[in-house]
């Protein structure tokens, strides 16, 4: 990238392309696919989508968009024992929410079961596949190891007729689970273990979420994926690095079947600090009740991030920013948080909300008076307009905005110090009220009527401006603050004998039950991001109601004061 603005990209100043874009551009130049670009996003419906999937979605749909091509949604549903309709529905919701559209191209590998079966017959006819009676354990044993070649199955040279007959009977349900498999006849001595006569069909007497009980044999991933790509005339089949060793097999099936042959390209999956993206671990977190569900705002799932207050724009920007390479790295979670702040800063409405209230009485303010003061909704966006906030004698401010023995660098309230109440008046703290344990429970202050709106006619300045909420009109709410789900950057970094679960952070959720929000938040809308000034970005929780108002903190504001404090000891 150079410094040229991206939206006025000139032909001479080409922005840098990632390695996949380069391949596509080259293919377009040589006419390899007749100018077509066709990708697909192929989730297995056995879990919810997470941030890693978002990267793949942005890549596949993004490439199609960028090059005027198409991207299919295809469910890789070849294992009925793990897959469910619930996941199909959730996956579709998440992709749509992210802002991508597969139009009428919603496909399922299970749509191709009949064709896949015919091709298996074709392989048998060509002497390139055979039915094997070895058990699972035996197959593993015969496969050899990483350093030693495998041994050929005693069933490897069954005559074609016998193989055809057996496969037919497998399909007819004559055999029990695991009794037989169909295997490709490739090379038991291959250095690539994937080529040592891989299983292509297994017997599974199980109900499939789409094909019901029509089948009792199901094709394996390796056998299914390339052919599905082929059927859909995909040009670039983009997957993650762990499938690199499978590419020769992907190619083998397509070559030996003599059918349309897309190109598989692998990129490195997304890793983010303090997050796990293993589907199994995510499932464990949900099943074991360590989080409230797939959409727990601490989860790296798309629905979790959404409930937390993330926007599609922020996630897409993040996926753009991390780039596409073959280097297996780890992205810092602050990069994600930063994308959110950047997006929300532009559009979140500013409001005042006190998370940990401390009562303030303005002693020289008239008892029954309420003033409606002007407040700006978004200082960076004039079109967001203004609103009125009520001001009165009794207010709440943040406990952290008062300090008894305040250091010089503390720009907030302390006895004898003057600060500005945002959009209101200058106030000076005159006294504190304490409970029996010596905790400050109330502040007595005086205000300067001349400073209405926040400016002093005599030109005097104050160091600090703090937020406040008028107590009479305040909305009481619950606010949930989230921290990283895990205590370690790498949740999988555990000592011998311990488990990734041991790295779960004990206080990743902090619930504040007595928060005071400005009156305007009484009719806050879901999906509307707010900035609680000086605190962070928040949104209404999905479970919020007028009886119990609940807000989630999506991300805090940058906090240099907090950093200074930490450093100061």
Q: CB of 545: closest distance to RNA in angstroms?
A: 27
Tell me how many residues contact RNA (CB under 7 A): 94
The CA-CA-CA angle for residues 268, 272, 276, to 5°, reads: 100
Chain center to CA of 280: 16
* The one among 320, 410, 478, 542 contacting RNA by CB under 7 A: 410
44 belongs to the catalytic site: yes
CB distance 304 to 480 below 8 Å: no
Spot the catalytic one: 44, 65, 442, 489.
Answer: 44
- Of 296 and 518, the one with the shorter C-beta distance to RNA is 518
Min CB(127)–RNA separation in Å: 21
- Of the candidate residues 96, 205, 326, 434, the single one contacting RNA (CB under 7 A): 326
CA distance 288 to 85: 22
Is 279 one of the catalytic residues?
yes
Q: How far is the CB of 190 from RNA (least distance, A)?
A: 8
329 lines the binding site for RNA (CB under 7 A)? yes
Q: Which of 290, 411, 440, 442 binds RNA (CB under 7 A)?
A: 411
CB 55 within 8 A of CB 361: no
CB atoms within 10 A of CB 274: 22
Spatial contact of 77 and 110, defined as CB atoms under 8 Å apart? yes
Residue 345 makes contact with RNA by CB under 7 A: yes
Q: How far apart, in whole angstroms, are the C-alpha atoms of residue 138 and residue 442?
A: 76
Smallest distance from the beta carbon of 319 to RNA, in angstroms? 10
Does 350 contact RNA by CB under 7 A?
Answer: yes
**Of residues 279-308, which lie at the interface with RNA (CB under 7 A)?**
none
Read off the DSSP letter of residue 322: H
Smallest distance from the beta carbon of 4 to RNA, in angstroms? 11
In terms of Cα–Cα distance, which of 390, 531, 405, 559 is closest to 468?
Answer: 390
Task: Name which of residues 220 to 239 contact RNA (CB under 7 A).
Answer: 220-222, 225
* Shortest distance, position 546 Cβ to RNA, whole Å: 27
Q: 480-539: which residues touch RNA (CB under 7 A)?
A: 531, 533-534
Report 122-151 residues binding RNA (CB under 7 A): 134-136, 139-140, 143, 145-147
173 belongs to the binding site for RNA (CB under 7 A): no
HEC profile of 171-223: HHCCCCCCCCEEEECCCCCCCCHHHCCCEEEEECCCCECCCECCCCEEECHHH
Please select the residue that binds RNA; options are 3, 6, 30, 507, rule is CB under 7 A.
3
- Residue 313 bears catalytic tag: no
Stretch that binds RNA, among 32-40, 323-331, 357-365, 538-546 (CB under 7 A): 323-331
Interaction residues for RNA, span 421-450 (CB under 7 A): 422-423
Angle between the N-to-C axes of helices 113-125 and 247-257, in degrees from 0 to 180, rounded to the nearest 10:
80
CB 87 within 8 A of CB 122: no
74 binding RNA? (CB under 7 A): no
- Residue 245 CB, nearest approach to RNA (Å): 5
- Nearer residue to RNA within complex by CB, 18 or 256: 18
Q: Please list every residue from 238 through 267 that binds RNA, using CB under 7 A.
A: 241-246
Residues 317/66, Cβ–Cβ less than 8 Å: no
Q: Alpha helices, DSSP H only, in 9-84? A: 19-30, 51-66
Nearer to RNA, 464 or 513 (CB): 464
**Would you give the binding string for RNA spanning residues 369-408, x where CB under 7 A is met?**
---------xxx----------------------------
Q: Which stretch binds RNA (CB under 7 A): 29-37, 93-101, 322-330, 474-482?
A: 322-330
Enumerate residues 189-208 that contact RNA by CB under 7 A. Answer: 191-194, 199, 202-204
Pairing of strands 386-391, 371-376: antiparallel
Listed residue (37, 502, 427, 436) closest to 262, CA to CA:
37
Contact pick of 358, 466, 479, 554 for RNA (by CB under 7 A): 466
Beta bridge partners, 361, equal 394, 444
Alpha-carbon separation of residue 169 from 30, 162, 173, 182, 203 (angstroms): 47, 10, 6, 12, 11
Give the residue carrying structure tokens 């907030």.
Answer: 412
Cβ atoms of 444 and 394 closer than 8 Å: no
**Distance separating the N- and C-terminal Cα atoms of the chain:** 41
**Minimum distance from residue 217 beta carbon to RNA (Å):** 9
Q: Annotated active-site positions, please? A: 44, 269, 279
């Amino acid at each position: 990238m150079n410094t040229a603005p991206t939206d006025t990209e000139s032909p001479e100043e080409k922005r840098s392309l990632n390695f996949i874009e380069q391949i596509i551009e080259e293919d377009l130049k040589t006419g390899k696919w007749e100018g077509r670009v066709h990708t697909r996003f192929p989730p297995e419906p056995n879990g919810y989508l997470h941030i890693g999937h978002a990267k793949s979605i942005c890549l596949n749909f993004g490439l199609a968009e960028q090059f005027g091509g198409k991207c299919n949604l295809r469910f890789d549903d070849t294992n009925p024992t793990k897959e469910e309709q619930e996941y199909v529905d959730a996956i579709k919701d998440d992709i749509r929410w992210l802002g991508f559209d597969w139009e009428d191209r919603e496909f399922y590998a299970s749509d191709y079961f009949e064709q896949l079966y015919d091709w298996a017959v074709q392989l048998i006819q060509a002497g390139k596949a055979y039915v094997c009676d070895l058990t699972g354990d035996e197959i593993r044993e015969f496969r050899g190891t990483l350093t030693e070649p495998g041994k050929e199955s005693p069933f490897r040279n069954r005559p074609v007729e016998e193989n055809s007959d057996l496969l037919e009977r497998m399909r007819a349900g004559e055999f029990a689970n695991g009794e037989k498999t169909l295997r490709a006849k490739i090379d038991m001595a291959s250095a690539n273990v994937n080529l040592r006569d891989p299983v292509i069909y297994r017997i599974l007497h199980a109900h499939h979420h789409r094909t019901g009980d029509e089948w009792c044999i199901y094709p394996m991933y390796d056998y299914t994926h390339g052919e599905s790509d082929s059927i859909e005339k995909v040009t670039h089949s983009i997957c993650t690095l762990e499938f690199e060793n499978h590419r020769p097999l992907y190619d083998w099936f397509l070559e030996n079947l003599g059918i349309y042959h897309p190109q598989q390209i692998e990129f490195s999956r997304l890793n983010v600090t303090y997050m796990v993206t293993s589907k199994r671990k995510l499932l464990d977190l949900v099943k074991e009740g360590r989080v409230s569900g797939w959409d727990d705002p601490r989860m790296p799932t798309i629905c979790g991030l959404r409930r937390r207050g993330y926007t599609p724009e922020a996630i897409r920007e993040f996926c753009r920013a991390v780039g596409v390479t073959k280097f297996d790295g780890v992205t810092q979670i602050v990069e994600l948080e930063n994308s959110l702040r950047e997006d929300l800063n532009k559009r979140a409405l500013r409001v005042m909300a006190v998370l940990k209230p401390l009562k303030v009485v303005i002693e020289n303010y008239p008892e029954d008076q309420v003033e409606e003061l002007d407040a700006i909704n978004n200082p960076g966006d004039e079109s967001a307009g203004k609103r009125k906030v009520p001001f009165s004698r009794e207010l709440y401010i943040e406990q952290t905005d008062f300090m008894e023995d305040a250091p010089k660098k503390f720009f907030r309230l302390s006895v004898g110090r003057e600060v500005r109440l945002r959009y209101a008046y200058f106030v000076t703290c005159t006294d504190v009220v304490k409970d029996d344990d010596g905790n400050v429970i109330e502040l007595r202050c005086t205000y300067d009527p001349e400073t209405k709106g926040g400016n002093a006619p005599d030109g005097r300045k104050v160091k600090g401006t703090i937020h406040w909420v008028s107590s009479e009109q305040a909305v009481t709410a619950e606010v949930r603050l989230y921290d990283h789900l895990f205590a370690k950057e790498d949740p999988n970094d555990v000592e011998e004998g311990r488990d990734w679960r041991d790295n779960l952070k004990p206080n990743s959720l902090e619930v504040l039950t007595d928060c005071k929000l400005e009156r305007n938040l009484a009719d806050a809308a879901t999906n509307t991001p707010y900035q609680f000034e000086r605190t962070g970005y928040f949104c209404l929780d999905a479970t919020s109601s007028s009886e119990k108002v609940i807000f989630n903190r999506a991300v805090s504001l940058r906090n240099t004061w907090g950093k200074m404090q930490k450093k100061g000891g």
